[in-house]
Structure 1
Amino acid sequence: MDADLDQALKRVTDELHDLYIPTGVGTVEKPVTPSQILSFYRKYVQKNIPVKITGCTDDWPAVTKWTDEYLSSKLEDTEVTVAITPNGLADAIFDGQFTLPFEKKVKFSELVTELNNPAEDRVLYLQQQNNSFNTEFPKLMDDIEPAPEWSSQVFGTDLDAVNFWMGDGRAITSLHKDPYENVYSVIRGSKTFTLYPPCDRLNLRYRYYPLSRYGEGGDLIPEDGSVPWIDIDQRDPLCGDNSNLHPVVVTVRAGETLYLPSYWFHHVTQTHSTIAINYWYDIDYGPAYGLFKMYDELARLKE
């Protein structure tokens, strides 16, 4: 029965990739008119397919203003929440454990100074989510579009959160998925996303890892509990089979925006001192959600 199920699931994912899942990420202009909005929804949102978008940040003062000098002077002594690790692996698997970062409030100007003079064993990353832009960076509100009209029309809902990202080129976002429609705009530098479609959940296996948190000095401190996570390095055969995966790699450069659909797994690297803004919209609990739940439950049978 298990062998039959494996073969059936492989046939499903192979056919989806042959007929539906793109091998690369295309590029379109920002939809503005009602017909463009509807077309974008039908081609990408309804089909749950990622795409790069140009023109979303063309009118943002941030594109030209957000130098280190401008940001440091604008934010002055504003304290921001920084994730600190010795290796850039926050919320990731390291040494067989799921590692949380040490978090600390620091003055933004001090963050910039350290980013430009990094210590070998200390990696800083502004990765605080939960609407971090609106809560920690209100002084920059006039430099971006706080609530893009085009994307609110596309998704037919209000924003759930706006997040600010800035960090060391060594900082890596480990493979995960989000239950949000994600509009991700790079202001400075570039980010490379390795994407896996929701159907690849059938070959991306979770394991439970002991939970630890980095201390201020970089040592790992065990915490109670465990966390289900996917080791993208696939060093553990229980985590899945690389040969059945279908990654889609896309680099998003300054001035470009990525529409990252809900439930697409993504692993992210970046160049030094990259800055990005992303918008999260709640998902529509429709067919895409139902399909992912089916993939998830079938994969659990094998874990």
Structure 2
Amino acid sequence: MTASLAPFEDASRKRKQAIASAPASLNGASRSKRPRTIAHTPSSKHLLTVQHPQGIKPLGNFLFDSSRGIRECRSAGLGYAAALSDELVLDLLSRLQPAELCRLAQCSKALYCFAYHEDLWRALTVRLYGQGGWGTFAYNWRETLKKKICAERKRTFVRDQPIQVDGFYSDLLFTSFRCASAPLRELCGVETDNIDRRSDLTYETFMKEYGTPNRPVIITDVVTKWPAYGKWSTEYLLEHCGDKIFRAESVDIPFRDYVTYAEQCNEEAPLYLFDKKFAENTTLAEDYHVPLYFKEDFFSVLGDQRPDYQWLIIGPARSGSTFHVDPNSTSAWNAVITGAKKWVMYPPEVVPPGVFPSPDGSEVTTPLSLSEWFLNFYMETKNSPVKPVECVCRAGEMVFVPCGWWHCVMNLEPSIALTQNFVATSNLPSVLRFLKYRRDQVSGSCYGTELYERFTEALNHINPGLIYDIEAKDDIQENAKIVNRLEKRESFWDRIMKSDEGINIGAEGRGFSFAFGGDD
């Protein structure tokens, strides 16, 4: 028995030594399935003014606290399990049932901090009552699940009072709290707004300046003319759709219950209502119309079998979408009915900082939440050579999102919005290329990998020869780009011979030495 525990004892000893010598700069060394870090920006220290409800602190605080006589409680509280990383401890706890987690929380201060982590209880609640069956949201996910179980067992529900713990340090647990608590105005840089705002645009002007060049723009005089503007509100939707089931990420939930959740939740990545069937289940589609600029939509030739394209979007502050490119190489418009949204956009050829797409683009690794991206990577955009397009889209405004553009969206306040994807003449070549050569990445279509054939067949039936002309022209343009790149490409030797830094000729001109640096 002693021999089998030796590796854990050794690892535990090493962790204690690491904690004892941890510099303050370790304030973000934790790793999860995706990067999980704490930002080291000049302003980040001003982004948090409240204390963690359990008193958890980042690992870097241990040096200062230990000098005041505060002892670290993780090692003793976890026993041999202290050798495990925080991620592994949470992974193990995620396999337990509610009663087991509650009992475990009573065993030590360290286990109490882990067992009360909000992400555990959210996953547990969704797992047990996945389709919105947890009833009325109560304060947080742990209390919600506890209240549901008490109601089922006819027991009195008593709300928890958090216990303050001294001496528990975890970058992983603290980061979730920090991301859920940092003030959004400072976090998102709402004062930066470098997008065009236009009104009274003709269709020709829009296509010339934005549609064909594939440039984003905010249009300010369309949404204000819709019946939805000034009519839709949380109260209005509750009255007309309160019992309707909407999709919030992976959860189907009555709208009434979602509103209760959205008004009370306080987490870094709230559930985001993103429903594609609202037009089928409600009369809300009667309250808006597709703007003139986006009437052209070639996917409409597929009728009811077209890929998913329209969504009702509702969410509290801090909810939103992490960096992504819209599906199937489509363009989109996003109209804000109430609230305000922070947008950060990058052109197709520029990958945002902190975002790591696979070579074929089929998978994208990003920070765990929007708040985490803003906390860790937003300041980096200020010093990068390519600045993103940033804006705050407010109620009554509409953003045009060109095809292929990376973008993330953060709700700065409770918001109601509509979005629709479309295929116009300007992006039809890229859509055809995507459907033909990236079949495994096609999404939202009942045809799956055969969407290209179904789409081109339907389009050719209406406009014979259109597909052939477009693809022939597109092939010529792509080949021209390749030739242009090859003609401009220099050999490694040519680059060295042209570089002032690459060759160092001696004072007497008798020889040279190579100096390799930078990308070379």
TM-score higher than 0.5 here?
yes
Question: Residue 285 and residue 108 in structure 1: after superposition, are their counterparts in 2 closer, same or farther (change >3 A)?
Answer: same
Aligned with residue 124 of structure 1, among 251, 256, 271: 271
Aligned with residue 263 of structure 1, among 390, 400, 404: 404
**Do the aligned partners of 2:246 and 2:278 also contact (CA within 8 Å) in 1?**
no
Question: Residue 227 and residue 188 in structure 1: after superposition, are their counterparts in 2 closer, same or farther (change >3 A)?
Answer: same
Deviation at 1:117, TM superposition (A): 2.2
Aligned with residue 210 of structure 2, among 41, 44, 48: 44
Aligned with residue 111 of structure 1, among 254, 258, 261: 258
2:333 counterpart of 1:188: no
Aligned with residue 148 of structure 1, among 266, 276, 291: 291
2:219 counterpart of 1:74: no
Tell me the TM-score normalized by structure 1. Answer: 0.63
* Paired position in structure 1 for 2:416: 275
Percent identity over the alignment is 24
2:364 counterpart of 1:228: yes
Tell me the TM-score normalized by structure 2. Answer: 0.38
2:300 counterpart of 1:134: no
Deviation at 1:172, TM superposition (A): 3.3
Deviation at 1:109, TM superposition (A): 1.2
Larger RCO: 1 or 2 (CA < 8 Å, sep 6+) = 1
For residues 292 and 229 of structure 1, what CA distance do their matches in structure 2 show? 28
**Do the aligned partners of 1:198 and 1:263 also contact (CA within 8 Å) in 2?**
yes
Higher strand share: 1
Deviation at 1:180, TM superposition (A): 1.3
State the SS of the aligned residue for 1:279. strand
For residues 27 and 60 of structure 1, what CA distance do their matches in structure 2 show? 19
For residues 125 and 71 of structure 1, what CA distance do their matches in structure 2 show? 16
Deviation at 1:263, TM superposition (A): 0.7
Deviation at 1:259, TM superposition (A): 0.8
State the SS of the aligned residue for 2:384. helix
For residues 409 and 196 of structure 2, what CA distance do their matches in structure 1 show? 18
The CA RMSD measured in Å over matched residues stands at 3.7
* Paired position in structure 2 for 1:10: none
For residues 271 and 235 of structure 1, what CA distance do their matches in structure 2 show? 18
Deviation at 1:227, TM superposition (A): 3.6
Deviation at 1:123, TM superposition (A): 2.1
State the SS of the aligned residue for 1:170. coil
For 1:26-45, what aligned pairs fall within 5 Å after superposition?
Answer: 26-31=196-201, 36-45=202-211
* Paired position in structure 2 for 1:215: none
**Do the aligned partners of 2:197 and 2:217 also contact (CA within 8 Å) in 1?**
yes
Deviation at 1:243, TM superposition (A): 3.0
For residues 265 and 292 of structure 1, what CA distance do their matches in structure 2 show? 22
**Do the aligned partners of 1:176 and 1:230 also contact (CA within 8 Å) in 2?**
no
For residues 245 and 352 of structure 2, what CA distance do their matches in structure 1 show? 42
For residues 251 and 292 of structure 1, what CA distance do their matches in structure 2 show? 35
Higher helix share: 2
**Do the aligned partners of 1:164 and 1:278 also contact (CA within 8 Å) in 2?**
yes
Question: Residue 292 and residue 71 in structure 1: after superposition, are their counterparts in 2 closer, same or farther (change >3 A)?
Answer: farther
**Do the aligned partners of 1:203 and 1:244 also contact (CA within 8 Å) in 2?**
no
Q: Could you tell me which runs of 5 or more consecutive residues in structure 2 were left unpaired when the two chains were aligned.
A: 1-192, 301-305, 368-372, 434-473, 486-518
For residues 268 and 418 of structure 2, what CA distance do their matches in structure 1 show? 27
Deviation at 1:203, TM superposition (A): 7.9
State the SS of the aligned residue for 1:38. helix
State the SS of the aligned residue for 2:413. coil
Output one character per residue of 1:63-90: Cα deviation in whole Å (capped at 9) or x when no partner: 111121110110131111113xxxxxxx
